[in-house]
Each structure stands twice: as structure tokens, then as C-alpha cells.
Amino acid sequence: MPTNGTPVVNAWTQWGRLETVVVGRADPKSCHLPHEPACHAEINDPLIADAIDWPGGSVKSAKSVELASAQLANFCAVLEAETVQVKSQKAFDSELKREVQKMRTEVIQNPDTKEKDSRVLQKGRISTLRPTEMDWSQSVSGPGWSSTSQYCATCPRDTMITIGNTILEATMSKRSRYFESLACREISLKLWRQDPEHVKFWACPKPSFADSMYHKDFWELSDKQRYERMRSYKFCVNETEPIFDAADITRCGKDIFVQKSMTTNDSGIKWLTSHFPELRVHPVHFPYDLYPSHIDCTFVPLRPPSADAGDGGLVLINSERPPLKSEAELWRKNGWKLLNAPLPAQTDRPPFSQSSYWLSMNLLSLGPKTMVIEENEIPLYNVLVEHGFDPITVPMRHMYDYGGGIHCSTWDIKREDSCVDCFPNQEYAPKHLYEQNFSDIDVVDVTSSNDGFLINPLTDIDGICGVGTLASKASRDCPDSPFSKKMRTA
């Protein structure tokens, strides 16, 4: 154990001061996701979609790899820097291919605190690690299944998570991602060998990936049919075997919250509950997300109620995917407030991105007051500043083609935190967590104030009409509600 008494692996919350983090890598042989029972990808740009089919299994272009690699390298430089400067400027965005207003962060040695429209932040140095480079173009197979290629190592958040002093490898739900955790295996083994007395290294059993593990008709349903089946919470993966992606988990000390989704089933949540008996594991549901996958673009704890500054505990929520009233009540009665994330500054999605534009809220907290957000997301930047935070920024839109954003591209290894109890007011009973016929779809009202805390409603912009908009409020219970497939989750 290090001299300060904290194990080399230690992360109990999403907001403790970050000390060590893995940042993903865009390898030269990164691939487009192949079609399989857990993934039916599609091209977002209709002109490109008319010209070509989804290039599943093919290697991404050298230019795409170069641009994503540059943004990940810059991200590392910002994390490793002692001091940064954030300033407003209009600049050309190479992914959007137009000039846009940005909040741009630069690493500086001699800060000019008098520069107009700028902030200087001494954030402290954060150690960064990188995955091992791999050839993802190789096919993989197992008894009764095969995949023409693998994927990439840009999003270690999906495959790996630190829970307290435990390194945990996720099962994954996609065949093409079976071996993805191997890119971080060298890091995991080194950390475990440094402190085997205090650091645990676990992996949930790998699933069989047999056809029987999936609901084969999931991708054939219309959105109308999905609305009609909302109460069932049945997605592409069934309950045959424990399944979870690590990015469906969010940590809050003694409590962890796990989203049921296309990538995590109830069996996976039960496995987590049985293997972390010292923690309280809570399933969470977001019924208006028809393609749920990964919680970090939907529900993001920012700071606990015990924080010294600001107006107490805050959790950033996605107004198009509101939490259930019943599940949000635990947060409210323990002093947390729900903060609506503003509509993304840019709703354009890269042509091959399989994530939603809500990657805008895919932030990485560096401490209780500081987080990293995408440099185009000025609406979110302003909201965070208004609530007492010191956000810094990086460009990350070229990463969107690789399945994630800022939070997705990281795996936090060590934070300055502990197993704090942020939810003392609760009656926790694991055996009551898994109702056989769970069907609650009564969500938090995101169009008005909550407990005196104003949640700004979205408006119907550019034809976008989600559950969080005033225009859709009256028709929430209508199965014909005009949700677009563009709203797919990160």
C-alpha cells in the first residue's frame, strides 16, 4: 500500500478528486461495429446512407483514427497539466465543418489572469494511463457464434470499472466486444500486483453469446410497438445469463446505481448485488429511452449534499429520459436536487456515430467542483458555472464516431474519496429490488419546478420533440409519441 495509506485502486464516487485515470486509444485497426443480435447499427447521414450500406466489420479510415487520436492526446495533456486557461472564442470545428462558438481550454505555464473572457484554473496534475494497442480487425468466434471483427479501445468505461478497491471487468453484451477488456489487462494486472492485499481484480463470467441469450425480434419492432411495450422493460438481451456493461453503473459511495438497458439485464444487476454485499445496489429505469445503453448520458451525479459549496447535492438528468418518480424519491429525500441538462449546443451527429447527441452531458468529474465537458457545449458550461462549478473543456466530437465522449473514453482508477453514505435515509432490502413484473413508467415532471428548484423546460426546436419538451408533455402516455431513432443512447 502507498505511504498515504490509500490503495493504488480507489474510487467510490463519481466526484472525488481524480488522481489516476485510463484514457482510451484510437488504434489504427479500430473497426465499425458489425451487425449482431445486440447491435443493428445505421448511418445517420441520409445522403451517405443512400449511397452505401453500414460498413460493419471494416476498419475505420486512417483520417478518422488520426483525428480521434489527436483529441484523445489533447485530453491527456489537459488532464496532466497543473494549470489551464478557459476562454471563449469562435473557431472552426473540423467535425462539424463550420465555425462555432466554443469555450476553449489551453495548457499554460504563465497564466494571464487579466485576459478578457477567460478563466485560469490550477487543477492539479492527474496521472494518465493508456490501453495496449490491438488489432481489432481480427474476427472472433466461440461455440455457436462468430463476429467478423472486433471494435476498438476508445471507451474503457464500457468494459472496466473501479468499485471501491476492486477492479471489475464487465461481461459486455456484444460479441464483437468479447476481448475488449484485454486492452486494459496489462494495467489491471500491474495495479493488482502492486497491492494484492488491498486490491481485488474480478471479472464476471463471460456469457455464452448463444442466440438464445437474445430477444431476436427486438430490432424488428417499430417505435409505436416499443411504446406499447414500455412497461415490460424488455430489450435485446434476455435474462438467460448475467450481462452488464460497466458504463451502466454510477457510483455514490455506499450506493451504486445500475441502469437496466440493452446492455445490462436484471441478472447482471443481481450478480453485482451478490458480489458487493457491503454496498447497496439499486436498479434504475428510464422508460422513455427506447434504446437504453449506458447511464452516463442520462443520469450523472455531480456532487453530494455534504459538499461545502453551492446549493447541496446535484444530479444532472436528461429531460428526454426522465427518471421514475419512485426511484428519484430516494435522491430527493436525501438532499439531492435534479438539474435538467440543457439541450445540446450541437444536435448534429457524425455519420457513423451510434450515440445520441446527449453525449453533451457525458462529462468527467475531476473533483467536487471541477469537471471536463466538450468545448462546444456552452449551454451546459453556463449551467454548471451558475451552480458553483469550475468546468474545463476539450474537443471530443471526433470520438463520437467511436461510441462515446469524454466520460466514455476514461476509466478512473484512483480518486481521493471513501465509502461515504450519501443516502442515509432509506430502507434497503435487496430481495425486494427485483419485482417479477416491474412495470412502473411514471416519470419525474421535467417541465416545471421541483421543490422550488427551477428545471428549465426544453422547447420544440428544429422539429425535435422528446419527452422533455413542453409540446410532448400532454402526449407522454400516447404510444404514437413522435420519438425519433436519433435519440438513441450513448
Q: Is the pLDDT of residue 109 over 80?
A: yes
pLDDT on residue 290: 87
Q: How confident is the model at residue 190 (pLDDT cuts 50, 70, 90)?
A: very high
* DSSP letter for each residue of 405-448: -TTTTEEEEEEE----BS--S----GGGS--TT-----B---SS
Taking only the tens place, the pLDDT of each residue in 352-398 is 999 889 999 999 999 999 999 999 999 999 999 999 999 999 999 99
Q: Is 294 a catalytic residue?
A: yes
Q: Is 407 a catalytic residue?
A: no
Q: Is the pLDDT of residue 263 over 90?
A: yes
pLDDT on residue 482: 38
What average pLDDT does the chain have?
88
pLDDT on residue 226: 83
pLDDT on residue 445: 81
Mean pLDDT of 75-99: 93
Q: What percent of the chain has pLDDT above 70? A: 87
Q: Is the pLDDT of residue 243 over 80?
A: yes
Give the integer Cα–Cα distance in Å for 310 and 369. Answer: 9
pLDDT on residue 448: 59
Name beta bridge partners: 475. Answer: none
Chain-centre distance of CA 433, in angstroms? 23
pLDDT on residue 451: 46
Any idea what the Cα angle at residue 333 is, between residues 306 and 342, rounded to 5°?
75
Within 13 Å, how many C-alpha atoms sit on residue 139's CB side? Answer: 6
247 neighbors 408 (Cβ within 8 angstroms): yes
Of 31, 39, 252, 408, which one is the catalytic site residue? Answer: 408
274 to each of 67, 197, 204, 269, how far by Cα in Å? Answer: 42, 22, 11, 9
Q: Is the pLDDT of residue 210 over 60?
A: yes
pLDDT on residue 399: 96
Mean pLDDT of 164-181: 97
Give the integer Cα–Cα distance in Å for 59 and 38. Answer: 20
CATH no. of 17-111+118-424+443-487: 3.75.10.10
Taking only the tens place, the pLDDT of each residue in 424-465 is 999 888 765 666 678 888 888 877 544 434 444 444 443 334
Amino acid identity of residue 345, one-letter, is: A
* DSSP letter for each residue of 89-108: EEEEETTTTEEEEEEEEEE-
Name beta bridge partners: 102. Answer: 89
Q: Is the pLDDT of residue 349 over 70?
A: yes
Of 31, 39, 236, 245, which one is the catalytic site residue? Answer: 245
Amino acid identity of residue 385, one-letter, is: V
- For residue 296, what is the DSSP state? G
Taking only the tens place, the pLDDT of each residue in 389-398 is 999 999 999 9
Q: Is the pLDDT of residue 19 over 50?
A: yes
First to last CA, the chain: 36
Any idea what the Cα angle at residue 317 is, between residues 336 and 483, rounded to 5°?
150
Q: What percent of the chain has pLDDT above 90? A: 73
pLDDT on residue 435: 62
Taking only the tens place, the pLDDT of each residue in 271-323 is 999 999 999 999 999 998 889 999 999 999 999 997 454 468 999 999 888 99
160 neighbors 115 (Cβ within 8 angstroms): no
pLDDT on residue 453: 41
pLDDT on residue 436: 64
Of 282, 294, 398, 407, which one is the catalytic site residue? Answer: 294
Q: How confident is the model at residue 69 (pLDDT cuts 50, 70, 90)?
A: very high
Chain-centre distance of CA 370, in angstroms? 17
pLDDT on residue 420: 96
Give the integer Cα–Cα distance in Å for 10 and 29. Answer: 32
pLDDT on residue 326: 93
pLDDT on residue 173: 95
pLDDT on residue 227: 80
Chain-centre distance of CA 204, in angstroms? 20
Q: Is the pLDDT of residue 253 over 60?
A: yes
**Ranges of each domain in the chain:** 17-111+118-424+443-487
pLDDT on residue 474: 41
